[in-house]
Every structure is written in structure tokens, then in C-alpha cells.
């Protein structure tokens, strides 16, 4: 099918055939530019987090000591292993449970009831930090 071009006054003209080919050159140009942009931007989008991973070989002298658990109940009472303690005597009771010496170097695990208020939990965490216990592990309950 052709289009008819006419000159002034509608007299005769030339016919032009339709072009059915797709011009892919601009499409290829745009895709190559986008590819280069993504190749440059992808490495910048990665987030690197420094992790202190354990050594691949276990220690020859694993500590056989029972870990110390601090439990915070819904009522606000604090238990060190099976004994009840208070926030004021937590550090001395904790050092006694760990055997004295460099007790601040030992890892302490804290677990709390799901209904414990945030400020009660943070009071215990702040007390541990103030007294030098910086290796604190938090335990949670698996919900299945």
C-alpha cells in the first residue's frame, strides 16, 4: 500500500512505499548505556559489614563452665541462674557466680519474659554495661 503525495492543486505526485523494518539501533544504544550504568552502580550498592567470625578450628581447651543466665520475669524480678537477685546486687552476685577474678571477660546470657517492659530490660543491660560486662548474649524463644 502506498501513500500518494500531491503537489499544489491536487495534481499528480509520487507514491512512497511503507517501511516495515524496525530500526533497532536506538534500542541497542539505550540498552548498552543502561548495561554500563548497572555495571558501575552494582558494586557501589553492596553493603559490607565487618564480622568477627570464630576460628575454623575449635579451641584445644574449650571452657567446660556452665554459662550464666540472667532471667528477667514479667513481675520485674531478676534471677541469676536459680537464685533471685536485685539490680543493686547483680554485679557482685554475677562475679560470685562466675568465680571471681576477671569475671567481666566472661559471656553472660540474658533472657526475658515476653511481657517484660522495655525499661526493666534496659535497666539490667545498663547495669551490666556499667559494671564492665560487655560480652552479653540475648536469648529468645523459638516460636513454631
**What residue numbers bound the domain in which 102 lies?**
68-138
- For 86-136, what is each residue's pLDDT tens digit? 999 888 888 888 877 777 778 889 998 888 898 999 999 999 889 888 888
Give pLDDT, residue 35.
95
Tell me the DSSP string of 32-97.
Answer: HHHHHHHHHHHHHH-------PPPSS--SS---PPPEEEEE-TTS-EEETTEEE-SSSHHHHHHHH
DSSP state of 128: H
Give Cα 49 to chain centroid, integer Å: 9
Q: Which residue has the higher pLDDT, 42 or 102?
A: 42
**Residue 40 domain-assigned (yes or no):** no
Question: Cα separation of 85 and 91, whole Å?
Answer: 10
Give the range with max mean pLDDT: 2-6, 13-17, 26-30.
26-30
Residues with Cβ within 8 Å of 131's Cβ and at least 6 positions away in sequence, in order, are 90, 91, 94, 104
**Residue 102 domain-assigned (yes or no):** yes
**Residue 113 domain-assigned (yes or no):** yes
Give pLDDT, residue 142.
58
Query: The domain spanning residue 102 has which CATH number?
Result: 3.30.420.270
Question: Cα separation of 121 and 126, whole Å?
Answer: 9
Domain count, the chain: 1
Give pLDDT, residue 92.
87
Q: What are the backbone dihedrals phi and psi of residue 137, each rounded to the nearest 5 degrees, phi first? A: -105, 140
**Residue 42 domain-assigned (yes or no):** no
Residues with Cβ within 8 Å of 108's Cβ and at least 6 positions away in sequence, in order, are 68, 69, 70, 94, 128, 133, 135, 136, 137
Is the pLDDT score of 1 beyond 60? no
**Residue 28 domain-assigned (yes or no):** no
Indicate the SS3 state at residue 135.
Answer: coil
Q: What's the rounded mean pLDDT across residues 51-61? A: 65
**Residue 100 domain-assigned (yes or no):** yes
**Residue 19 domain-assigned (yes or no):** no
| Residue 57 pLDDT level (bands cut at 50, 70, 90) | low
Give pLDDT, residue 19.
75
**Residue 13 domain-assigned (yes or no):** no
Indicate the SS3 state at residue 121.
Answer: helix
Q: Which residue has the higher pLDDT, 54 or 77?
A: 77
Question: Cα separation of 43 and 59, whole Å?
Answer: 37
Give pLDDT, residue 14.
67
Q: Which residue has the higher pLDDT, 32 or 24?
A: 32
Amino acid at each position: 500500500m502506498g501513500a500518494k503525495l500531491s503537489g499544489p492543486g491536487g495534481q499528480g505526485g509520487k507514491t512512497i512505499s511503507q517501511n516495515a523494518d524496525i530500526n533497532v539501533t536506538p534500542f541497542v544504544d539505550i540498552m548498552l548505556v543502561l548495561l554500563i550504568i548497572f555495571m558501575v552502580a552494582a558494586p557501589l550498592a553492596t553493603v559490607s559489614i565487618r564480622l568477627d567470625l570464630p576460628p575454623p578450628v575449635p579451641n584445644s581447651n574449650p571452657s567446660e563452665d556452665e554459662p550464666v543466665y540472667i532471667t528477667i520475669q514479667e513481675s520485674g524480678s531478676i534471677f541469676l541462674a536459680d537464685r533471685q537477685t536485685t539490680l543493686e546486687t547483680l554485679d557482685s552476685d554475677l562475679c560470685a557466680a562466675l568465680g571471681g577474678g576477671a569475671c567481666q571477660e566472661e559471656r553472660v546470657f540474658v533472657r526475658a519474659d515476653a511481657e517484660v517492659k522495655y525499661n526493666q530490660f534496659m535497666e539490667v543491660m545498663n547495669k551490666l554495661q556499667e559494671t564492665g560486662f560487655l560480652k552479653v548474649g540475648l536469648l529468645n524463644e523459638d516460636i513454631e
